[in-house]
Amino acid sequence: GAWSRPETCPPGQRLVSFRLRVEAPRGLWDDTAANAMAAICSGGSVLEGRGGPQGTWGNWSLPCPPGAGVCGLRTRLEPPQRGGDDTGLNDVDLYCCS
């Protein structure tokens, strides 16, 4: 794939919540899994990545507590399927720090 342009919160704001657009498994068809991510900044701005159109948006994550912001992440990746259909990114956890 190709990188999209960076999205950033306005100066002085932190990322506080996110959601993913994920395509459900399609059986024999080409699966894509996570296709886009959107995030909310502490001031209310919404950032949205330029991912693929497949899938549906999930729910927003619980927001970081007041005064905190995202300081780390963990990703869930599908291991190579060899002869099968690879999806790549399947899920994301973001961690809050103050």
Q: Which fold has domain 15-97?
A: Vitelline Membrane Outer Layer Protein I, subunit A (2.100.10)
What is the spatial distance between Cα 40 and Cα 33, in angstroms, rounded to a whole number?
Answer: 22
Beta-strand relationship, 56-57 and 15-22:
antiparallel
The three-point CA angle 80-81-84 to 5° equals 145
What confidence score (pLDDT) does residue 66 get? 94
Gyration radius of the chain over CA positions: 15
What confidence score (pLDDT) does residue 34 get? 79
Task: Map out the domains of the chain as residue ranges.
Answer: 15-97
What percent of the chain lies above the pLDDT cut of 90? 43
Q: Which of helix, strand or coil describes residue 93?
A: strand
Q: How confident is the model at residue 10 (pLDDT cuts 50, 70, 90)?
A: very high
